[in-house]
Amino acid sequence: MVELNGCAPRPLHVQRDGTLEIGDTTTFSHYLRGGAVTEVKRPKTVSHEPLDTALFQPCIVAQSPQEVHRAHCLHQAFHALHKFQQLHGRPPKPWDPVDAEMVVDLAQALESLKGTEGEPLEEQLDKALVRTVALSSAGGLSPMAAVLGAVAAQEVLKAVSKKFMPLDQWLYFDALDCLPEDEEPFPNPEDYAPRDCRYDGQIAVFGAGFQEKLSHQHYLLVGAGAIGCELLKGFALVGLGAGGSGGVTVADMDHVERSNLSRQFLFRPQDVGRPKAEVAAEAAHRLNSDLKVTPLTYQLDLTTEHIYGDNFFSSVDGVAAALDSFQARRYVAARCTHYLKPLLEAGTKGTLGSACVFIPHVTEDYRAPASAAASEDASYPVCTVRHFPSTTEHTLQWARDEFEGLFHLSAETVNCHQQALTSLAHLDESQVLTVQQVVLGVLRERPQTWQDCVLWALGQWQLCFHYGITQLLSRFPPDKVLENGTLFWSGPKQCPRPLEFDASQDTHLLYVLAAANLYAQMHGLPGSRDQTALRQLLKLLPLPDPQDLAPIFASDLELASAYAEFGPEQSKQLHEALEIWTVGPPLEPLTFEKDNDFHVDFVAAAASLRAQNYGIPPADRSKTKRIVGRITPAIATTTAAVAGLVGLELYKVVGSPRPRSAFRHSYLNLAENYFSRWVPHAPAIQKFHHWKWTCWDRLEVPAGQPERTLESLLAHVQKLNGLRVRMLLHGKALLYSAGWSPEKQDQHLSRRVMDLVLEVTRQVPKPEQRVLVLELSYEGEKEDVTFPPLHYKL
């Protein structure tokens, strides 16, 4: 159906059986197999009302009629605030009831807003909403500036790039839920009066008492990447931990890389190579000299619980997580649940962002999305990547594996063989194949010049993109039919075609240039960036003879594996070649770095050529760098927005105890102008007989003086009404409250708890450990229930 090639974009529909409906194809030639469908986003022209019209006939971006009505009331409130400013030359005083009522009166006196068709809107003004806006309007909050500034910046980018849908036409965002619900309607205005300090805007909203409390908080920030930098900047601006015993601890094990500089704004070029936590701490201190920031360069996981242990978390008031993996988020969330600490969590992917808050005994605990968590560990079958790629990701994985094998693994293998002529028996198939490509390829001895490196790179090009493909097609011709009558090259298996080397094509040249430079670096030789000279050199070099190229070995069951025939003769041949290569200094194994141009160029060119082999749309260089460098897509606008949303929830967490209705989970898509905030779920209640508990509950038992015996510990679990309960430590049965024979009970009841712990675990609790966590479970005839943990205080 070649008529589809190069045709204009057309709408298509995916049917339930997975087939595509693309319209009338009766005049087209017969469809055989294969093909790739590429999504095309069509441009759309939008227009807006001028400002003078839109002021009284607003088009509101909102998700529900209730939100539209609230936005209309806020629109009128701002009209009234502007009118108040014109009349009095100042904004309303903070929490001044007289000024607030004047604003309400002005709002009521305004002309009614009109709908999109020009008809008056018969809506009841929410006077309480307008009054609240007026009372707090004199203040200014950096989290609000971050959210709205991010939206405004994204609109500028939309206008400049003509990408994504612009706002149509007004967006109202309020966080009045940050204000305490149980306060007096009009608190003492003196507490909200200016202090001639950097926090006056915040004091005007929340009061001086709240500001003092905020300054004494001690928070743990996990992650100093894109979101972490924005959060730390926000903490400095609001004064979190900037007084008394307060402070912020920043934990991140990574170092600053050059690619970080475009979206992690606490870092500068001179910081490249330094620990992120240290650089971020210094930058935050420059923003607010009163802020006490402690950097820690250890990651949070099971291996560092001696650092982030009981003593550490006992001094922490809350945790903010800015992590880029669900595995890390789950671990940090589990620590917060264990220590009953509030958790503020944020994440982004391009223009998508989310911010969540988890409060002990108030909200649900953190749960990673099952599909997203599973995708982190997704891998592609080796045979698919090596021989049957069908997606761009397959070609990138293949190119990344090529880099690892050719420039890292081969050097390590040669070095190990150099130190002691070891057997090849310890190498797996892919390692043997890689070593053969290096030592049994075009060059049978170490390169001595730049031209040798170019010759090797040219031979590698031929091996991967021409000779290897012809070998594959000789085994599986394009018309090969399986026993069931279907074509071998059908479905996800796309029939490849060999490429012919052409130095005038940029991708061909880039592959040879990058591969030759990496090969030279691995052998301690000088390289070259001169593409013109390389083109001239390639004209003089003959294409390698296929007989000089190492054979391609295949591992999947469909292919006759030459590796299976790797016997004594082949092993001897490879050993002899390795002995030649071991003469000289050790090779330099190269580790892939996403900020190294030659590293990225090699992978990008290799993946693009592989995509050409199989008719797969190639990835551009930026996409290649993002995927193979495992860079989480992050843009400054989204990170600023989610950091602002986290800052708004921080106000609620630090303030007086709040009901669940005050907190908000948030989700946004700046590209599509989608903004959603909702109240978190309550923690799920679990029941067993008469007992109820949630994920935040635990049984706490003090050790006692003298140390408890098993009998005294069991007395503390009698609330279970004599149910047959067993206690476990690290999954091992430790104590039984019932079910023992009388002899065994008599033997153990008088023993000390810690003696039993030592006997079962063969480990002595560390001196800094304050709690021993025991698991309780019920084993009945029909039920298997997991109870809250038992915290035995040491």
Task: Give me the DSSP letters along 166-213.
Answer: PP-SB-----GGGS-SSS-SS--GGGGS--SSTTHHHHHHH-HHHHHH
Q: 523-529 contacts: CB < 8 A, separation 24 or more?
A: 523/446, 523/447, 523/453, 523/587, 523/588, 524/585, 524/587, 524/588, 525/447, 525/448, 525/449, 525/450, 525/453, 526/450, 527/450, 527/453, 528/450
In the structure encoding, which two tokens stand for residue 242, read together?
A: 């900037």
* Number of other CB atoms surrounding residue 791 within 10 Å: 17
Q: Could you give the count of Cα atoms lying within 13 Å of 566 in the half-sphere of its Cβ?
A: 23
Provide the pairing of β-strand 20-21 with 318-321. unpaired
What pLDDT score does 431 carry?
Answer: 53
The torsion region of residue 771 among left (phi > 0), alpha (psi -120 to 50) and beta comes to beta
Phi, psi of 786 (to 5 degrees): -100, 120
| Nearest by Cα to 174 from 195, 205, 200 | 205
Q: What does DSSP say about strands 686-688 and 691-693: parallel, antiparallel, or unpaired?
A: antiparallel
* Three-state secondary-structure class, residue 701: strand
Query: Cis bond leading into 169, ω under 30°?
Result: yes
Q: Give 754-761's long-range contacts (Cβ < 8 A, gap of 24+).
A: 754/707, 756/710, 757/729, 760/729, 760/732, 760/733, 760/734, 761/729, 761/730, 761/732
pTM above 0.85, yes or no: no
Residue 442 near residue 455 (C-beta atoms within 8 A): yes
The answer to whether the Cα torsion of 82, 86, 87, 91 is positive or negative is positive
- Select from 183, 169, 170, 104 the least CA-distant residue to 137: 104
Find the radius of gyration of the CA atoms of the chain: 33
Structure tokens at 197: 């300090």
Residue recorded with tokens 């001690």: 218
pLDDT of the residue at 54: 86
Sequence-ordered list of residues with C-beta below 8 angstroms from that of 341, at least 6 positions apart, any chain? 313, 316, 317, 318, 319, 335, 360
Residue 724 tokens read as 């047959």
User: Can you name the residues that pair with 247 across neighbouring β-strands?
Assistant: 218
d(CA 685, CA 700): 19
**C-alpha angle 205-207-208 in degrees, rounded to nearest 5:** 140
Token pair 């809107």: residue: 121
- Packed helices 392-404 and 621-628: angle between N→C axes, nearest 10 degrees: 70
Cβ-contact 663, 362 below 8 angstroms: yes
Q: What pLDDT was estimated at residue 444?
A: 60
Cα(372)–Cα(296) distance, integer angstroms: 28
Q: According to the model, what pLDDT value does residue 368 have?
A: 78
Q: Check residue 718 and give its pLDDT.
A: 60
CA distance 329 to 352: 18
CB atoms under 10 Å from CB of 147, counted, come to 25
Cis preceding linkage at 680, omega within 30: no
> What pLDDT is attached to residue 286?
96
H or E element, residue 792 = strand 790-793
Phi and psi at residue 646, in whole multiples of 5°? -65, -40
Span 230-256, pLDDT tens digits: 999 999 999 999 998 899 999 999 999
Q: Model confidence over 411-464: pLDDT tens digits?
A: 887 777 655 544 455 555 555 555 555 555 555 678 899 999 999 999 889 989
Which CATH topology does 390-615 take? Arc Repressor Mutant, subunit A (1.10.10)
Instruction: Phi first, then psi: give them for residue 354, nearest 5 degrees.
Output: -145, 150
What token pair was written down for 744? 């065994």
Q: Which residues are catalytic?
A: 383
Distance linking the first and last C-alpha atoms of the chain: 75
- All residue ranges of the chain with pLDDT < 70 are 115-119, 182-186, 370-382, 417-444, 545-584, 629-633, 703-707, 710, 714-749, 760, 777-786
Q: Is 475:611 a contact under the CB 8 Å cutoff?
A: no
d(CA 534, CA 521): 17
Quote the DSSP letter at residue 115.
Answer: -
CB atoms closer than 10 angstroms to residue 87? 10
Q: Which residues pair with 717 in a beta bridge?
A: none
CATH placement of domain 687-793:
3.10.290.60
**Residue 185: beta bridge partners?**
none
Dihedral angle, C-alpha 165, 169, 175, 177, nearest 10 °: -110
Contact between residue 702 and residue 715 where contact means Cβ atoms under 8 Å apart: no
What are the domain boundaries of the chain? 390-615, 687-793
Q: Which two tokens stand for residue 544?
A: 């390698």
DSSP state at residue 631: P
The helix or strand, by DSSP H or E, that contains position 106, with its residue range, turns out to be helix 97-109
